[in-house]
């Protein structure tokens, strides 16, 4: 794929077929636990809100049918589905008392453990079939999340094409250069990846971490050893087209949602969870580890952001060249194969 595909609008529009094909990840169910809680999804073609109507999760267009104002302006919150312009309110069916024939467009909601998806394609494909072998893995993984506390969803805006963000997370051998401080203490990127799994358009892989690289932290990590999932690796999932998940030794989880807004602007919505622990460890210790790990993870994202945005700036100078993907980047090669099939 030539570099012109990273900055020309016609190519961006064509690639949105990859995003409109089936299911999109929206958020974790724990973010929608309260009545009237909502999370919004904005991409180039869609403005959608997933809202809790007395325990039922419903996905609707986030644009009022009256005069086309946005219904829920925040990324997340707790508020009835009422337009702030003329107070047209909507129920779980997308209907409003303000006009008997008016109705919001509705989308199918799918649950996979704590992961909430919506079907924007209107195709009759079940979420379990779309996720394939990863369905049960995501159910099991999210059963380990400690949802008793967590931060709100954070937005990191990248002035770059969406493909750069995907390519960035699908390889790890940049970690020892870009993240030498933020991730260097666990030796990430030094070893050979293993357990590479592929299902449909999705994949996962594990990157080894090295005990000799993190001797200083072993004593502290022993406080958290009573948990159900322990693996001496950094495990990463890409659930196409817009979900990134990473598990750091089964203790700390990162969940990222990719929102492509234009040919050179992409939002990354960031969520973190701790693992449930089976001992009575002081909550303040757990929350401190969560806070430190969250801050460090945001730093990692921003370190990558610098590289990604530099790539975007350079595209116009080398529009007819291609990136060189090596044997260390098989996940990127697989991503481009699936993308080309979709468009």
Least confidently predicted of 13-17, 124-128, 178-182, 289-293: 178-182
Specify the pLDDT at position 139: 98
pLDDT, tens only, 282-292: 889 899 999 99
CA 100 to CA 149: how far, in whole Å? 41
pLDDT of residue 176: 87
Tell me the domain boundaries of the chain. 23-124, 148-342
Question: For 43-69, what is the mean pLDDT?
Answer: 97
Q: Does pLDDT of 188 surpass 90? A: no
CB 244 within 8 A of CB 258: yes
Reduce the DSSP state of residue 254 to 3 states and report it.
strand
Q: What is the pLDDT of residue 283?
A: 87
C-alpha closest to that of 172 among 241, 243, 235, 251: 235
φ/ψ of 67, rounded to 5, equals: -130, 20
For 192-244, the pLDDT digits (tens) are 899 999 998 999 999 998 754 445 555 566 778 889 888 888 999 999 999 99
Tell me the pLDDT tens digit for each residue of 289-309.
Answer: 999 999 999 999 999 999 999
Residue with tokens 């022993």: 222
- pLDDT tens-digit series, residues 71-113: 999 999 999 999 999 999 999 999 999 998 999 999 999 999 9
Nearest one of 282, 1, 9, 40 to 155, comparing CA atoms: 40
- Asked if the domains at 23-124 and 148-342 fall in one CATH topology, the answer is no
- Which pLDDT score, from 0 to 100, does residue 211 have? 56
Confidence of residue 269 (pLDDT cuts 50, 70, 90): very high
Averaged pLDDT, 115-130: 93
User: Which CATH number is associated with domain 148-342?
Assistant: 3.90.380.10
CA distance 7 to 148: 42
* C-alpha distances in Å from residue 274, one per residue of 47, 101, 137, 205, 278: 30, 46, 17, 20, 13
pLDDT of 314 higher than 70: yes
To the question of domain 23-124 being in CATH 2.102.10.10, the answer is yes
- Residue 303 has what pLDDT? 97
Q: What share of the chain is helix, strand, coil (3-state, %, to 5)?
A: 30, 30, 35
138-162 mean pLDDT: 96
**Distinct helix (H) and strand (E) counts, the chain:** 8, 17
Which residues, including other chains, have CB under 8 Å from residue 80's CB and lie 6 or more apart?
Answer: 36, 89
């Amino acid at each position: 794929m030539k570099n012109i595909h990273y900055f020309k609008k016609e190519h961006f529009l064509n690639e949105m077929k990859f995003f409109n094909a089936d299911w999109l990840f929206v958020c974790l169910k724990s973010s929608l636990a309260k009545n009237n809680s909502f999370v919004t999804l904005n991409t180039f073609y869609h403005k959608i809100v997933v809202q809790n109507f007395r325990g039922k999760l419903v996905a609707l267009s986030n644009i009022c049918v009256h005069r086309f104002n946005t219904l829920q302006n925040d990324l997340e919150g707790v508020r009835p589905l009422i337009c702030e312009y003329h107070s047209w309110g909507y129920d779980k069916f997308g209907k409003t008392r303000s006009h008997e024939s008016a109705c919001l467009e509705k989308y199918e909601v799918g649950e996979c453990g704590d992961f909430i998806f919506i079907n924007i394609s209107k195709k009759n494909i079940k979420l379990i079939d779309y996720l394939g072998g990863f369905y049960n893995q995501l159910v099991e993984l999210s059963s380990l999340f400690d949802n008793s506390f967590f931060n709100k969803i954070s937005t990191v805006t990248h002035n770059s094409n969406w493909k750069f963000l995907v390519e960035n997370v699908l390889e790890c051998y940049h970690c020892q250069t870009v993240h030498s401080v933020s991730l260097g203490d666990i030796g990430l990127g030094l070893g050979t990846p293993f357990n590479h799994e592929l299902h449909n358009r999705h994949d996962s892989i594990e990157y080894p971490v090295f005990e000799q690289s993190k001797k200083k932290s072993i004593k502290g990590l022993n406080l958290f050893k009573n948990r159900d999932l322990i693996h001496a690796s950094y495990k990463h999932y890409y659930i196409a087209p817009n979900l990134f998940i990473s598990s750091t030794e089964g203790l700390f989880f990162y969940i990222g949602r990719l929102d492509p807004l234009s040919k050179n602007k992409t939002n990354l919505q960031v969520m973190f969870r701790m693992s449930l622990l089976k001992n009575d460890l002081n909550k303040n210790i757990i929350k401190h580890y969560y806070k430190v790990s969250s801050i460090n993870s945001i730093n990692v994202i921003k370190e990558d952001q610098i590289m990604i945005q530099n790539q975007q700036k350079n595209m116009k100078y080398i529009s007819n060249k291609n990136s060189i993907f090596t044997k260390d980047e098989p996940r990127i090669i697989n991503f481009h194969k699936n993308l080309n099939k979709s468009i």
